[in-house]
Structure 1
């Protein structure tokens, strides 16, 4: 079996569902003939035809609305927005229609669609191409928000998202699109949504991170291991609804926690995780939960991009601050 990258795993999952389910259609800007700006849909139009893999005009609001209409009438649309920075025109469609359709029709209609968007920084992109505003969408009722962090999870979670009866925002961290390879069998086996993944066992501190930030978080955990500190690493994967139970289960062992995300600090999802930990597991804590995040600024251009993104040193500093807090 050939090892594949995350972006190839996305292609593999899309091809599998197009092949197995005639209701699945894929569309977006430049995704057909060109195979997408990151080539996530490369070769799909040639295999499945322009009736199922379609190029659209540059009109995100239209793309989002068409997907809702298709989903309401029995199709399984997968719509791509080229970058998360271009997604904001669709908020009206997502918040007022996709997320409300089941409730509005008292269950008569559902909205089984997937909105895909490459997101996050780290590729030296221009303005509006490096946003990490996942917390904005986790606040929208009726919408799942899913972020893969490896080729295997990209494949299995995208299959699950396409098969889900409700709308899913599937955010693909482009910084790690080609950062690693993994053997991913094309067997059609989905991974569970709404369930966190324990990527590393540990007993001294719990680290929670998702998407591209897991690369540096896992590196920090390995560096700690050389010092005799064993960190447990949790990938929520589904950011909404959040599997807080796995995080609390880890805290029963470690009693200390650091949350890492590249999104801006204020109002980020880390704040919600901390709030839920305080609400449901405050008695387990030996120290306040600490956040290592991006800054409350617009994502800078590439010369300062690496300064903005949490790196291993910043994560280690946050971990040591938490470990040194007096119990």
Structure 2
């Protein structure tokens, strides 16, 4: 957020500039928390899942955090539908999700996805794309090339390309390992694979039919995570799917992720209420002020924890921005707490 005309204003202007914009900045922090948030996990193990989150009616997507499974989408008050999708899991759709037009205008939707060994590996996210010749009537979107095949295509103009992350490696097994789907048109595209989004790329063949299969064994690769298509002529890409199962359901469970700390109401003019999904003995929440100084330590005894806006000496803390995090955990997320 830029609040001054220059990036290095005179020292005498810093405090007045802050004071002039303080209320607006706090309101910005407050409104950034509006919308839909939650955590996506594996129904069997409780592990976080890196998933796509599609929100209707706009039918646009974002992603959960790759390590924590958390997500947040800013949305105005209204009614929405959410579809959660990840390779190796059954899709889960939640309808009639209401973002309220009152209070903090936020709603939490936590989802546990059911593993499915028959669910295909599919294009998970677009790493980059260059697809339009100018001038062009092509108004398709690269995002239509991700997810399982659905008949909705993304058009690559001749000479253009797209690179897609499958989110987990396509593994070389007997026969066809992945399929490129082109439900309409007669275009062709060179197909390349790699294990890093920047390459080096190995050409595996040409997609030239409604369904073109590829075998990693033909190029001597054990696996490939990224797929790149380079169109020789207008190519309508529907999806890229791995033929073999992802193995999610058969994977050995790994240790549970760190507990998830959230703030129930933010900003707060009274008691700040923290929520913890898995309280463990000895867990503590550390509160720091804007300078980084620890001002309070709270012992966790249940899923809910209250901070009365006092420091370790029992004195009331002034209104402002504070930071809360779980003690003793690597990469523990920091929560911003705004007091009024």
TM above 0.5, one fold? no
- Which entry has the higher C-alpha Rg, 1 or 2? 2
Q: TM-score, normalised by structure 1?
A: 0.23
